Structure 1
Amino acid sequence: MTAVLSSIRRILLGALIAAALLLVAFGPRGVEHAPPGRVVVTYWEKWTDFEGEAMRRLCALFNDTVGAEKGIYVDYVVTTQIDLKTLIATAGGDPPDLAGLWPHNVSSFASKKALTPLSRAADAGIDEQKILPVYYRQCFYHDTMYAVPLTPWSLALYYNQDIFDEFADQLAAAGYSADRPPRTLEELADYASIMQRRDSEGRIEMLGFLPGVPETIGWYWLTWGLWCGGDFFDPASQRFRIDTPEYICGYQWVRDFSERIGVREILRFESSLANFNSPDNPFMIGRLVMVQQGPWFANMIRQYAPEIRYGAAPFPTHDGSEISYCGQDVLVIPAGAHHPDEAWAFIEWLYNAGPVNVPSGKPQPQRGYEYYEVPTSAGVERRPMPAMPPIEWLCWIHYKNSPLREVSEAFRQTHPNPALAVHDRAARSPQARTEPPLPNWSELLGEFLAAYRDIWAGKVDVAERLRRSQQRIDELSELARRNLERYGEVYP
């Protein structure tokens, strides 16, 4: 443990030491009264609202069954800035026993010796035979497994079928059909140009699509090179490459799109939009026809605009081939966890327990707990919620696809997301892309984002700006390599 702490501390330095003092004083607080005789497993997680409640109820089910048998009590603690706080707590010698992180944290934390290797996973059957490759790969740093998938996702094109139908004649005049979403980037641009409205003064009232103003509703600004056939990591050079023909193709499309609509007009339109997760999301109020989003978007539509008829399809690509971008939430055991064996018992239960029913604990039956809904000609019918493996049930509640190669019929047949098949097919595609396991991925993305801002705003030549950004990315990568080599680590 001494080597672990020294490795982390030399990287975090004085600023994080000060932050650690604040964490001790004001950090996450767990349960005060666990059943007597139980080992308390502290579990930090970022989820709130219905997502957090689902995991809280899953922990309660474990505590009442396997936990009671084995003398374990999992204490679910909602934690903001979870990646930073987990790293600080690990450096301070008092980490949680479990932490819900993101895939890019795996390589970053593991390179700092801040995670516990999950060497027991293979013996427990939690391996590539059980987990889909695109999600399994994200749990590794070098050849060691440090995480397990929690709730995975893939991106799709969500579109408003009502507005497609409204513009059916215009789409048909251009050689398209309102019954078919765009399949190529060229078609996406054409559909978007057709399905837009402006007021008498030329101000945008509705857009067909919007690549996104950086860091606002354009969550996935980093994907455009992928849709032209690129990837995040070049095996030949062992580098993150954005100066390739594929990236130039993708970001030239973004540049051309923003220029066609008008950068100033888009900025004015964007400034009038509400928060993403709200009833006034532009898709929900008919001001944006198509979006690039994950499976959670279907739940937002159910909450905020259930009257919308919508569809989902693979996101358009340069040549119409199906390429997908996938990600997930992951669960780790931080290095120096006080109860790693008990923490592992919970992970193993998530993946290897038989089908379960998760009670809501509420006086009235709750959707996803006591019942699920089936649309019928007479209206929505409630049916008893079937039992399913814990990890599948969690994904069901989160509206997401499963990380498992073999999915239960209960999960597939009752899943509330009409777009489940689209997201599941994307995750199973041989062309599925995901973030690379680079310890400095966040830093590299920061440089890439600066280039994207300039490209989107039409300030620069696309190829030249990407080449210039590539030079800086290479410098940052070389710096990371040298720093890691000093401590016997290998980059990437």
Structure 2
Amino acid sequence: MNKTTTIVCAALLASSLLTGCSEEAGKAGSASGGEGQEEKITLTFWRNSGNDAENAAYDKLVASFMDKYPDIAVEMTPIPYADYDTKLRVSIASGSPPDIMALDAPTLGSYAHAGALKPLTAYFKADGNLEDIPPSTLATYTYQNEIYMAPLTESSIALFYNKKLFEAKGIPLPSKNPEEPWTWEQVLDAAKKLSDPANGIFGIDPAQGFNNAGATAYFKYPIIWQFGGEIMDGEGKTSKGYLDSPETKKALQFFSELYNTHGVSALEYPPDPFPNGKLGMTVDGSWSLAYLTEKFPQFKLGEDYDIAPLPKGTRQAVANGSWSLGISSKSQHADAAWKFVNWVTSKEGQVTYSTMTKDIPSRYSAAKEFPELSQYPKNIFVVQNQKFGRPRPITPVFPQMSEAVNKLFEEVVIGKRNVDASVAEAIKKIDKAYADLGAQTK
């Protein structure tokens, strides 16, 4: 690859299009073990730097691995989140990627499509204990029938509700059974009763407002699925026939009406509206339990608020997938890299990691080691994820698709634009992105 080609590839990669370099990555896809006669193998491992607990957990896992495998050294490089994706893509474009890389689930399609990742299916079948991972989780890390990443943890979202506001209005409380959710119509009925505009109280924030496209994918796609709709086809090639289905449009219309017809949701809220009594209900993540406990100790679970499963339309659904580990297709030590990946994401590795970070393990066996995960409220997040989890569309144009759908939600809610017209425009953007991708790989 000459200097000009490298620069072009790097530019494409920084915009989440790895395709310009797929041929170079593909040539290295046949690399197998490569350990040969080496006495000591050194593996490079890049990950996004996390909080103190996450960093300490990785330090412990790396140290314990090297104790177990003294013939393998792991050089771990934490990189700030804001810089991580760009640096990783540029390293791939330049032909010098790390042996092992941490990746966020939605990025799988672009990396795998470009041939930057080594398929892990054979490794998993040999000693990866596939049966210990929920099928819906495995689907999140599978592209064109190959598993490319090994999951470490999961997260999930649920319906948080202000118990005292419910009781003051005489509203029956939602079930805490993760398989007995309220319908969205029941949520709407409660939201109408809870809303008190004169006192700045709104019934529900259904999806954490309007943030970036990544937040849209995690919080808003489930609403489409819950109404029976879809975003893209199973191969991640088009949104035609999916994003424009009657079910998807019904979900979008319902979401818009929460703001523009019923007035139970607002475009802007004051800081921390839920613990400050300005929201009757909010859809939020499992990570918020620790945040509320730390920042609002007077706002107590069981007394002031409780948690229920996500609402459903015709079915239950929640987005799954988190940061996971993959192996570069260029690695000359793929077998050794798998030993590390398999160690970190094994039951033992997940228990070690989750004990320190309080994250939810992705393996059944690891989750069972934490009694609190089978008890309220965390059982809601675990059961939803294991039984009703769904991958966000696995597509090499995920960034462009996600941005188009994010814009779609903004237009129908904030811009009050016609759903049909907004959907048609989003499909056009997504299909163009995939067509452009195909043109670049020819």
What corresponds to 1:135 in structure 2? 137
Distance 1:408 1:452, change over 3 A: closer
What corresponds to 2:391 in structure 1? 434
What corresponds to 1:283 in structure 2? 274
Write the letter of the residue equivalent to 2:128: I
Would you say how many aligned residue pairs link Structure 1 and Structure 2? Answer: 404
From 311, 320, 323, the equivalent of 1:316 is 311
Q: How far apart, in 2, do the equivalents of 1:12 and 1:329 lie?
A: 23
Confirm or deny that 1:421 pairs with 2:415: no
Confirm or deny that 1:461 pairs with 2:433: no
Q: How far apart, in 1, do the equivalents of 2:75 and 2:430 lie?
A: 41
Write the letter of the residue equivalent to 2:310: F
Q: Is the 8 A contact 1:48 1:78 kept in 2?
A: no
Q: How far apart, in 2, do the equivalents of 1:341 and 1:7 lie?
A: 31
Deviation per residue, 1:25-73 (Å, 9 max, x gap): xxxxxxxxxxxx773533322422333333233323334x214x33424
From 1, 5, 12, the equivalent of 2:10 is 12
Distance 1:140 1:400, change over 3 A: same
Distance 1:123 1:462, change over 3 A: closer
Aligned ranges for residues 306-455 of structure 1 at < 5 Å? Answer: 306-307=297-298, 308-309=300-301, 310-319=305-314, 321-337=315-331, 339-352=333-346, 389-407=348-366, 409-411=368-370, 413-415=371-373, 418-429=376-387, 431-455=388-412
What corresponds to 2:211 in structure 1? 215
Distance 1:15 1:93, change over 3 A: closer
From 91, 110, 113, the equivalent of 2:112 is 110
Q: How far apart, in 2, do the equivalents of 1:178 and 1:15 lie?
A: 49
Percent identity among equivalent residues? 20
Whose relative contact order is higher, 1 or 2, with alpha carbons under 8 Å and at least 6 apart? 2
Q: How far apart, in 2, do the equivalents of 1:161 and 1:422 lie?
A: 17
Q: Is the 8 A contact 1:396 1:416 kept in 2?
A: no
Gaps of at least 5 residues in structure 1 are 18-36, 172-176, 274-280, 354-388, 487-492
What corresponds to 1:24 in structure 2? none
Q: Is the 8 A contact 1:454 1:460 kept in 2?
A: yes
Q: How far apart, in 1, do the equivalents of 2:111 and 2:44 lie?
A: 21
Q: How far apart, in 2, do the equivalents of 1:236 and 1:188 lie?
A: 33
Structure number, greater radius of gyration: 1
Partner secondary structure for residue 315 of structure 1:
coil
Q: How far apart, in 2, do the equivalents of 1:396 and 1:223 lie?
A: 29
From 63, 82, 85, the equivalent of 1:83 is 85
What corresponds to 1:305 in structure 2? 296
**How many Å apart are 1:10 and its aligned residue?**
5.3
**How many Å apart are 1:115 and its aligned residue?**
1.7
* Higher helix proportion: 2
Q: How far apart, in 2, do the equivalents of 1:46 and 1:106 lie?
A: 19
What corresponds to 2:28 in structure 1? none
Distance 1:406 1:477, change over 3 A: same
What corresponds to 1:159 in structure 2? 161
**How many Å apart are 1:329 and its aligned residue?**
1.5
Q: Is the 8 A contact 1:326 1:434 kept in 2?
A: yes
Write the letter of the residue equivalent to 2:286: P
**How many Å apart are 1:84 and its aligned residue?**
1.8
Q: How far apart, in 1, do the equivalents of 2:6 and 2:363 lie?
A: 33
Partner secondary structure for residue 320 of structure 2:
strand
Deviation per residue, 1:258-300 (Å, 9 max, x gap): 113559x934x43x33xxxxxxx32233322322223212222
RMSD: 3.4
Q: How far apart, in 2, do the equivalents of 1:187 and 1:132 lie?
A: 30
Query: Normalization by structure 2: what TM-score?
Result: 0.80
What corresponds to 2:127 in structure 1? 125
Distance 1:302 1:55, change over 3 A: farther
Distance 1:247 1:395, change over 3 A: farther
Query: Normalization by structure 1: what TM-score?
Result: 0.72
Q: How far apart, in 2, do the equivalents of 1:222 and 1:414 lie?
A: 28
**How many Å apart are 1:301 and its aligned residue?**
2.1
Distance 1:157 1:440, change over 3 A: same
What corresponds to 1:266 in structure 2? 266
Q: Is the 8 A contact 1:134 1:432 kept in 2?
A: yes
**How many Å apart are 1:9 and its aligned residue?**
6.3
Q: How far apart, in 2, do the equivalents of 1:120 and 1:11 lie?
A: 30
**How many Å apart are 1:404 and its aligned residue?**
1.8
What corresponds to 1:48 in structure 2? 51
Q: How far apart, in 2, do the equivalents of 1:468 and 1:43 lie?
A: 38
